[in-house]
Amino acid sequence: MESLLKVKDLTITFIDENTQTVVVDGVDFHVKPGEVLCIVGESGCGKSVTALSILGLLSPNARITSGSIVFNGQDLLEMNEKEIDQIRGSEATMVFQDVMNSLNPVLTIGSQLTEVIRIHMGYDKKRAREYAIEMIKKVGLPDAETVMKKYPHMLSGGMQQRVMIAMALACEPKLIIADEPTTALDVTIQLQIMKLLVELQKEFHMSILLITHDIGLVAELADRVIIMYAGQFMEETSVYRLFEHPAHPYTRALLESVPCIYDDPNKKLTSIPGTVPENYQDIEGCRFYGRCSYSVPACKEKQIYSEFMEGHFVRCHRAEKGEIPFVS
């Protein structure tokens, strides 16, 4: 099946007055039609920057220094702002993590939602309002006409996030990028929002690129998972294989730090020692070396991201050679 989104050798650099910092280092990935792909990693590893780059939403001090981003057969990096605007919001949309700052506080929900619909779908004011009400009902908000008249601060965080999802879905996009969509929401609401996204994904047969630091979220949602650390991809495989047979030591450490219903009740959770290294773009070898319990001197040499089993990629020469006992 032809991929809807193909990202190749993407490198992103932050440029300050006297320094250049590589925050995303040569990443490759793809998203198929109707697929849910999750990118998981600690805060600051570069996953949100990767997501923002797809729709041309990087901050002014960020530069894409290499690579290509091909969406539906078109390289987005070769388009001007006007051309990207034709795709952004209609064929590919984004649900941001900071919902409290994503909606305009001085405009009603109805005004903001109908504006998106009128711009991208060409509806007149009456039809846009009717369609906006339909979308609010679709995301499970009661009394849609009343919601249309309210301002963002009059809604709870969970209700605001549902409005953002309605806005993202309004033009029936082929791809939704969800960047930490449950941040600042309580656990119960998080589950509701994620279930809603998956239900709508199946109904509209759209693709989802989910960005999260919570590996527990991906178990029931993802088709494939990518583990990211310090600006690089560490592992990629199907969600089933990731949880059953994690190959990279970092993936294993992440899984050991979260509880599982199948664990022994007396099992103690472990934390990953150390911190993410500073200036990691200058590290030639494995960037997880200083925190890894399987590290050997050869890990200081450059690690290649390669497919060591069909559909299973890893950036660890010891995992490739079978020198790390396989988890089963």
pLDDT of 49 reads 95
CA angle, corner 22, sides to 248 and 313, nearest 5? Answer: 25
**Backbone phi, psi, residue 207, to 5°:** -95, 150
The span from the first CA to the last CA of the chain, in angstroms, equals 30
DSSP class of 69: E
CA 66/CA 274 separation, integer angstroms: 31
Judging by beta carbons within 10 Å of its beta carbon (0-12, 13-18, 19+), is residue 295 exposed, middle or buried?
A: middle
Whether this prediction's pTM lies above 0.75 is answered by: yes
pLDDT of 221 reads 83
pLDDT of 89 reads 84
* 208 beta partners: 36, 176
pLDDT of 145 reads 94
SS3 content of the chain, % helix, strand, coil (to 5): 35, 25, 40
- CA torsion sign for 106, 108, 113, 118 is negative
Cβ–Cβ < 8 Å for 88, 55: yes
pLDDT of 93 reads 92
Cβ–Cβ < 8 Å for 235, 241: no
Residue segments in the chain with a per-residue pLDDT below the cut of 50: 328
- Domains in the chain (CATH in brackets) are 5-222 (3.40.50.300), 227-320 (no CATH)
pLDDT of 36 reads 93
